Amino acid sequence: MRYYLLTIFFLCASIINSQNSGDYPLEIPIILSGTFGELRPNHFHAGIDIKTKGTEGFKVYSIGDGYVSRIQITHGGYGKALYIKHDNGQSSVYAHLKKFSPKIEKIVKEIQYSKESYTFRTYPPQDEIRISEKELIGFSGNTGRSFGPHLHYELRDEFDRPINPMAFKNYTVSDTISPVVLGLYYKLIPKNSVSGSNSSFNKLKLTKISDNLFISDTLKISGSVGFGVNSFDRMNNTWNKMGLSNIKTNIDGDEIFEMDLNSFSYDEWRHINTFIDYPSYKNKKIKIQKLYIEEFNPLNMYERSLGNGVVEVNKSNEIYLYSVKLFDFNKNQSEILVPIKWKKQNDLSTRKLNFNNMFTVNKDSIYNFKFPSALVSIEKNSFYTDKKIQIFEENNLLHVDRDSIPLLKGITIKMDVSRYNDSIRNRTYIGRIGENKKSSFVSSRKEENYIVAKVNNLGDFMIKIDSIKPNISVIDISDNQWISNRKKLTIKISDNESGINDYRGTINDKWILLEYNPMKGILSYDFNDNVNNDDVKNILEIEIEDNVGNVKNLTKTFYRKIK
């Protein structure tokens, strides 16, 4: 009996290991917290996020033979990231790492200490750092803009375009759950145009027939109708909201729209704002995915041979049945049925906006708006389409419409600071004023008597003054304390106004590598770097600078035994 139990145990262990060996970069059960093509702020998700049981330090392996093509460490974004170019032409990316493998970590530390910088980007020559399939390359972590321990893993084709890694694995992640439907929406689109509409989406009432089938009340309407859906996917063993993989629509059985979210180019990242209804997302935090293609939408994810997906409701055919099919990667499906009946509508296309300070901006033209204390410059093709936008200056606030119109590229704003004396002028910056009236740092770049910023979102802006130095404190260490058994120094830093711009640390006048976690406001130094092996006495000096040049210094003396 014991023999059979041992046999079953080793067989199960072998199956678990073989599922991941050379397939996924982790040797733990693969559960996702994010899928490929998932809708993120201003971009599509370019990889998959693999859960690491809420902890850091799991071994990360290369998924194939190749060489290290790029090593990058940033405070935000991917944090510690490794890029491998594989012999088959594809590339893989491993991000938010805690640290790299000893072989790579040695190279990384040499670069950081030579540059005296925690952050850097390097592109090793081809085949200089060879990597074998299943070779240890790092350890999972939580660095960069990460809200919890996980591994962000990408696969890219030979042209460096992101592709869904799940399409190239021997087994799929457990998923038997159909996409979740939160709502279906519609709007009338101006006649003879698919350039968009200023009108808002209207929500249809849905009745749930089964777990994956919904039917709406009959929509009574006429003219050109564009639909949108608010939906996400779920997988087994996790409550995270995932992205859809494929969307199809048809009218009376004829397919009129298809979108495949399993590949895209980085040039298309920000064009997610043409796929979702930007005003609904910004104003109501609702991600309505448009089921039609506007003429300015450049995404290559659509089957454009089917047309633009707009439903034409005319009197010659009074009854229609519109269908929306939503798929996840494992082909689980949800369907929404919409009966449509023709009904004459009032023409709203001539309705005019009645606002002061409205300007017509043609996307192919250049504009320079001058106000008493501010300038706004708009380049060609800053907007996707021609727009009417509201711009004015009032009570030292520059209002550049609302952040409900997506920008194709940034616009330049300049705010006059000549009214301040030199000591105050050097501590000014442009702040974006949020709905809660709190400001966030945008820029402090000076040009003569102006502060200048290139902004990627419309909104309210104001000159702010920051005359307060940042805060620094060394955690759990007092002056002249012995800390021979400590593995790390931990320093807490913060700035309540313009934010942290730069930092520097030394021990006995020798530069030390301080790893910065901006999400927690923590700097840490690893004593294994052995910057000081000669003296029992250690004088730590830290200098922090905020975004307008306020500097705070801290000096702390501590003692360690010499090994």
Q: In this predicted structure, what is the pLDDT of residue 198?
A: 65
- Rounded CA-CA distance 434/369 in Å is 23
- Rounded CA-CA distance 297/213 in Å is 30
Q: What is the pTM of this model?
A: 0.89
Is the per-residue pLDDT at 315 higher than 60?
yes
Is the per-residue pLDDT at 15 higher than 50?
no
Tell me the two tokens of residue 140: 């999972």
Is the per-residue pLDDT at 549 higher than 60?
yes
At 83-93, the pLDDT tens digits run 999 999 999 99
3-state secondary structure of 501: strand
The torsion angles phi and psi of 226, rounded to 5 degrees, stand at -110, 135
Do residues 336 and 323 lie in contact, with contact meaning Cβ atoms separated by under 8 Å? yes
CA angle 477, 494, 478 (to 5 degrees): 10
Q: In this predicted structure, what is the pLDDT of residue 314?
A: 87
Burial of 290 (0-12, 13-18, 19+ CB in 10 A): buried
- Rounded CA-CA distance 46/155 in Å is 8
Q: In this predicted structure, what is the pLDDT of residue 340?
A: 96
Number of H helices, E strands in the chain: 5, 46
- Rounded CA-CA distance 22/24 in Å is 6
Q: What is the mean pLDDT of residues 250-279?
A: 94
SS (H, E, C) 467-492: CCCCEEEECCCCCCEECCCCCEEEEE
Higher pLDDT, 186 or 532: 186
- Rounded CA-CA distance 522/23 in Å is 35
Residue with tokens 């992101």: 162
Rg (CA), the chain: 28
Count Cβ atoms below 10 Å from residue 184 Cβ, excluding itself.
Answer: 26
DSSP string for residues in 403-426: TTS-BSS-EEEEEE-TTS-HHHHT
The answer for 118, left when phi > 0, alpha when psi is -120 to 50, beta otherwise, is alpha
Single-letter amino acid, residue 152:
H
Do residues 45 and 249 lie in contact, with contact meaning Cβ atoms separated by under 8 Å? no
Residue with tokens 């996707």: 384
Is the per-residue pLDDT at 9 higher than 60?
no
- Rounded CA-CA distance 289/259 in Å is 11
Confidence of residue 170 (pLDDT cuts 50, 70, 90): confident
Confidence of residue 471 (pLDDT cuts 50, 70, 90): very high
Q: What is the mean pLDDT of residues 221-231?
A: 95
Tell me the two tokens of residue 480: 């002249």
| Selection from 15, 107, 98, 32 nearest residue 59 by Cα | 98
At 443-459, the pLDDT tens digits run 999 999 999 999 999 99
Is the per-residue pLDDT at 72 higher than 90?
yes
The conformation of residue 288, written as its DSSP 8-state character, comes to P
Q: What is the mean pLDDT of residues 417-438?
A: 91
The torsion angles phi and psi of 183, rounded to 5 degrees, stand at 175, 155
How far apart, in Å, do the first and last CA atoms of the chain sit? 54
| Selection from 391, 434, 396 nearest residue 416 by Cα | 396
Is the per-residue pLDDT at 347 higher than 70?
no
Is the per-residue pLDDT at 477 higher than 50?
yes
Count Cβ atoms below 10 Å from residue 76 Cβ, excluding itself.
Answer: 12
- Rounded CA-CA distance 458/297 in Å is 20
Of 180-189, 223-232, 343-352, 432-441, minimum mean pLDDT range: 343-352
Tell me the two tokens of residue 54: 């809420």
Q: In this predicted structure, what is the pLDDT of residue 418?
A: 94
Tell me the two tokens of residue 344: 């004459």
Q: What is the mean pLDDT of residues 464-488?
A: 94
**Residues in contact with 141: Cβ distance below 8 Å, sequence separation at least 6, in sequence order:** 56, 57, 79, 80, 96, 97, 98, 99, 149
At 89-120, the pLDDT tens digits run 999 999 999 999 999 999 999 999 999 999 99
Of 285-299, 306-320, 322-336, minimum mean pLDDT range: 306-320
Q: Output the average pLDDT for the chain.
A: 91
Is the per-residue pLDDT at 19 higher than 60?
no
SS (H, E, C) 271-286: HHHHHECHHHHHHHCC
Do residues 146 and 79 lie in contact, with contact meaning Cβ atoms separated by under 8 Å? yes
Q: In this predicted structure, what is the pLDDT of residue 356?
A: 73
Q: In this predicted structure, what is the pLDDT of residue 236?
A: 94
Q: Which helix (H) or strand (E) holds 433?
A: strand 428-433
Beta strands in 274-365 (DSSP E): 289-290, 311-313, 319-327, 333-342, 358-361
Is the per-residue pLDDT at 8 higher than 80?
no
At 387-409, the pLDDT tens digits run 999 999 999 999 999 999 999 99
Residue with tokens 């729209």: 257
Tell me the two tokens of residue 288: 């309505």
Confidence of residue 267 (pLDDT cuts 50, 70, 90): confident
Confidence of residue 14 (pLDDT cuts 50, 70, 90): very low
Count Cβ atoms below 10 Å from residue 439 Cβ, excluding itself.
Answer: 18
Do residues 107 and 129 lie in contact, with contact meaning Cβ atoms separated by under 8 Å? yes
